[in-house]
A = this chain, B = another copy of it.
């Protein structure tokens, strides 16, 4: 539905439809707990394990919803996108399962493991400079040459509705013990806008926070200023959170998110170490930013039950930060 001010807000029916559409294609990811992590961070944490999603990240949800929403005619020319990694891998996976070609534009600084994953799913990779402008230009050129459908990594209605399933699912899993707060990583805002919309629709009293690296703090600045501040020259280990907010995601974030919490890279590394040693889970920096936020902003979460979205697990093992 579109509100009076012209902004699109997905209804709970749209979100539920997306979930049903992709149900047979994506995993219901588990929730894990760890007493040692709770003791360490001072709150009660439920880890929503989207790093165990297909292709190793929540991106599989949005990509599936986008591609399986397309008509046969639309899908026939294939799909394309730009992505620092996880969305590209997810779209490549979905394209393969629908049997259509995929072209993925990746910045030259994307992790090797993420490039390999895209190639492994049979997609074509085009490299470009690591700026939003270069990425969009390369996609535009590819679109004109292939006639394919561009599935934006986050500023796309079907993608946002797909990602929202993370929020609906975790609330169902925690129905007997609802969270006081949900913490979600924010890069372009596809996951955060979807989850926040879903959580506020189902459990209005629950707080929703975005977690963002200090070195790519455009979402925090945009949130505080009330308009989209583009991300330029990001500098953070969280390679999945380098993008700017979108025209669709920002209004949803403004509407349903309580605050954006910043964390430094060393705090992200500490959170990764905690997840590897205590929960025995391989989580990428962009996925650990949420636990880092809970650990850093203790005054916000003290004694609460917090659902923490671990958004992805695609990390170069040869480049672990310790």
Return A27 CB to nearest CB of chain B, in Å: 10
Q: Is A115 an interface residue (CB 8 A)?
A: no
User: Are B52 and A280 in contact, CB atoms less than 8 angstroms apart?
Assistant: yes
Q: Which residues of B contact A313 (CB under 8 A)?
A: 280
A113 to B113, CA, bound (A): 27
User: Are A280 and B56 in contact, CB atoms less than 8 angstroms apart?
Assistant: yes
Q: Which of A128-136, A145-153, A314-322 contacts B (4 or more CB under 8 A)?
A: A314-322
A150 to B320, CA, bound (A): 40
User: Are A280 and B283 in contact, CB atoms less than 8 angstroms apart?
Assistant: yes
Smallest CB gap from A316: residue in B: B277
A141 to B276, CA, bound (A): 37
Q: Is A160 an interface residue (CB 8 A)?
A: no
Q: Which residues of B contact A318 (CB under 8 A)?
A: 322
Q: Which residues of B contact A32 (CB under 8 A)?
A: 52
A282 to B279, CA, bound (A): 9
Q: Which residues of B contact A322 (CB under 8 A)?
A: 317-318
Q: Is A30 an interface residue (CB 8 A)?
A: yes
Q: Is A222 an interface residue (CB 8 A)?
A: no
User: Are B280 and A51 in contact, CB atoms less than 8 angstroms apart?
Assistant: yes
Return A93 CB to nearest CB of chain B, in Å: 11
User: Are B51 and A276 in contact, CB atoms less than 8 angstroms apart?
Assistant: no
| Chain A 262-288 interface mask (CB, 8 Å, partner B; 1/0) | 000000000001001101111100000
User: Are B281 and A317 in contact, CB atoms less than 8 angstroms apart?
Assistant: no
User: Are A317 and B317 in contact, CB atoms less than 8 angstroms apart?
Assistant: no
Smallest CB gap from A120: residue in B: B36
A283 to B282, CA, bound (A): 10
Q: Which residues of B contact A277 (CB under 8 A)?
A: 113, 282, 317
Of the candidates B30, B273, B320, which one forms a contact with A320 in the assembled complex, judged by CB atoms under 8 Å apart?
B320
Return A142 CB to nearest CB of chain B, in Å: 28
Return A36 CB to nearest CB of chain B, in Å: 9
| Chain A 35-73 interface mask (CB, 8 Å, partner B; 1/0) | 000000000000000011000100000000000000000
A51 to B282, CA, bound (A): 13
Q: Which residues of B contact A283 (CB under 8 A)?
A: 280
Return A54 CB to nearest CB of chain B, in Å: 9
Q: Which residues of B contact A51 (CB under 8 A)?
A: 280
Smallest CB gap from A116: residue in B: B277
Return A35 CB to nearest CB of chain B, in Å: 9
| Chain A 157-168 interface mask (CB, 8 Å, partner B; 1/0) | 000000000000
Of the candidates B30, B56, B280, which one forms a contact with A282 in the assembled complex, judged by CB atoms under 8 Å apart?
B280
| Chain A 298-322 interface mask (CB, 8 Å, partner B; 1/0) | 0000000000000001000110101
5 A-B pairs (CB sep. < 8 Å): A32-B52, A52-B280, A113-B277, A317-B320, A318-B322
| A-B contacts besides A51-B280, A113-B277, A276-B317, 20 pairs, CB < 8 Å | A30-B30, A32-B52, A52-B279, A52-B280, A56-B280, A273-B317, A276-B282, A277-B282, A277-B317, A280-B281, A280-B282, A280-B283, A280-B313, A281-B281, A281-B282, A282-B282, A317-B320, A317-B322, A318-B322, A320-B320
